[in-house]
Amino acid sequence: MPDMPNKARQLSEKQSEYMHLIAEIMEIRKRGEKPLAFIHTYGCQQNVADSERIKGMLDKSGFGFTDTPDDADFILFNTCAVREHAEDRVFGNVGALKNLKRRHPQILIALCGCMMEQEHIADRIYNSFPFVGLVFGTHSLHRFPELLYRSLVDGRRVVERGNDDRLVYEGFPVHRDGSFKGWLPVMYGCNNFCTYCVVPYVRGRERSREKDVILSEAKEMIAGGFRDITLLGQNVNSYGKTLETPVSFAQLIREIDSIDGDYWLRFMTSHPKDCSKELIDAIAEGQHISNHLHLPFQSGSDRVLKAMNRHYDRKKYLETVAYAKERIDGLSLTSDIIVGFPGETYEDFKQTLSLIREVEFTSLFTFIFSPRKGTPAEKMDDPVPAEEKSKWFRELLDVQEEIAAKRCASMVGQTERVLIEGVKEKTGELNARTGGNIIVELTGNKDLIGTFQNVKITKARNWILKGELN
């Protein structure tokens, strides 16, 4: 690794040694022919990308993978803390492993990810689930082999959290889940402290990977047949600001875009407060950059945006959208929205509805506000009852369904370039996606999975398109 600081390099070498030691131990401990790991990932793509790195380290430690917890020697849940619902699912699913551990006491059960960086959660896990042998947070991911080794040899429970040393660790193996659609983290953490959000607390301060490291990973993915690559960061627009030689995100995507090959490049998440014209121009002028922009606005009301600490207003958001629509052909916009932020009134909510009508998003990720421990919003007055918020939420879904249906219907008759992603189990049809991230279903041979095809859109069903191979 060219620009890795000494501390990070030493750590990566040390972790490689632990991977060899784990392989030796597992040779004796395994239950079947090969030690097997079961990994379940909750939450966002960043977690998926982290799990791919954990799997890479397990792969190097001699493990294979299984989808059946019963067959596993090692079970890991990579958890999400963004909303209460995600946390509840983890507690439920971990509780359900108690009997499995009783049947097979030699299985090692571990939990990692964002939830584990919250002290009250790590404590609750430790106290309620004595059969969980290893707990580590996002800041300890790069020390996973050492932690796994310790819990295997000591036979004692290992808990490791905190230690945000703000370094970026490189040189770890990656075991990617897909063969043509993949994730590429460009930065970690977040400095924005939106008042509802737990991410800055559990993923630490913003830090970027070196441009050359990202470029070489992108080259490797493209050469390896990846067709749809998503660059990941909590706020990609501030990529590179903290690097020794600062680089803008627009520069980064222009350089990746100049790599030869047949692929789509996309990225998430772009924060509207600093989504620059430079970035929009880079998308418009790119060869491979898809015409899809995920630009979460969260609320259409300036009052609520201010209380959320988002640092943009409705006017600025709409100006950015107008510029993007003008510059990028067939632009497809998607967004995240929170309904029922503390103090939000129905009047505020109506501004969210009017904004989605005005912009006409392709699709939306919609969430009801979930109070997160330790965030400022948790302590804000929240007088609107849950049933009322659910009513607003359903109203939002209805409006969006109408918009998406209209948008999809307007595409009938067009020819779209799509990436064939898989087969729909129920009907045997192929599933595909446009560059703008719209789902297209069509009849065709399974051999086409992982290839780009031109498809004529024949029908629109709400937010899904039907098509025929051209």
CA distances from 118 to 133, 160, 197, 200, 374 (A): 18, 11, 13, 11, 9
Residue 82 touches which of ligand SF4, ligand SAH, none (Cβ within 5-8 Å per kind): ligand SAH
In angstroms, give the least distance from the CB of 255 to ligand SF4: 24
- Contact pattern from residue 283 through residue 302 relative to ligand SAH, giving x for each residue in contact according to CB under 6 A and a dash for the rest: -------------x-x----
Contact flag: residue 336 with ligand SAH (CB under 6 A): yes
Number of C-beta neighbours around residue 128 at 10 A: 11
In the shown chain, the binding pattern of residues 258 to 277 toward ligand SF4, with x for contact by CB under 6 A and - for none, equals -------------x------
Q: How far is CA 257 from CA 252, 286, 287, 329, in A?
A: 9, 6, 6, 17
The Cα 290–Cα 16 span in angstroms is 37
User: Whose Cβ is closer to ligand SF4: residue 132's or residue 168's?
Assistant: 168
Of 200 and 261, the one with the shorter C-beta distance to ligand SF4 is 200
Draw the binding track, 253-282, toward ligand SAH (x: CB under 6 A; -: no contact).
Answer: ----------------x-x-----------
216 or 345: CB nearest ligand SAH: 345
Q: By rule CB under 6 A, what count of residues binds ligand SAH?
A: 17
Through-space distance between the first and last CA atoms of the chain, rounded to whole angstroms: 45
Instruction: Give the one entry of ligand SAH, ligand SF4, none that residue 338 binds, where binding means its C-beta sits below a cut-off of 5 to 8 angstroms depending on kind.
Output: ligand SAH
Closest to ligand SF4 by CB, 190 vs 252, is 190
Site string for ligand SAH, 68-107 (x = CB under 6 A): --------------xx------------------------
Beta strands in 198-268 (DSSP E): 207-208, 228-232, 264-268
Would you say how long the chain is, in residues? 470
In the complex with ligand SF4, which residue's Cβ is closer, 193 or 346? Answer: 193
Closest separation in Å from C-beta 208 to ligand SF4? 15
Q: Does 208 bind ligand SAH (CB under 6 A)?
A: no
CA dihedral 189, 194, 199, 201 (to 10 degrees): 90
Among ligand SF4, ligand SAH, none, what binds residue 193 when CB lies within 5 to 8 Å by partner kind?
ligand SF4
Taking CB under 6 A as the rule, which mask of x and - marks residues 338-377 in contact with ligand SAH?
x----------------------------x-xx-x-----
Q: Residue 467: beta bridge partners?
A: 442, 457
191 close to 369: Cβ distance less than 8 angstroms? no
Distances (CA, A) of 267 to 172, 189, 190: 22, 16, 16
Please tell me whether residue 320 binds ligand SAH under the rule CB under 6 A.
no
Taking the complex as a whole, how short is the minimal distance between the CB of residue 94 and ligand SF4, in angstroms?
25
Using alpha carbons, list the distances in angstroms from residue 418 to 27, 165, 430, 440. Answer: 45, 42, 11, 8
Among 235, 291, 332, 437, binds ligand SF4 (CB under 6 A): 235
Structure tokens at 9: 């390099």
Binding to ligand SAH by residue 144, rule CB under 6 A?
A: no
68, HSE (Cβ side, Cα atoms, 13 Å): 2
Check binding of 193 to ligand SF4 (CB under 6 A).
yes
Structure-block tokens of residue 159? 């808990």
Distance of CA 143 to the CA centre of its chain: 21
Contact assessment for residue 252 and residue 43, using Cβ atoms and an 8 Å cutoff? no
The residues of the shown chain that bind ligand SAH, judged by CB under 6 A, are 82-83, 196-197, 199, 234-235, 269, 271, 296, 298, 336, 338, 367, 369-370, 372
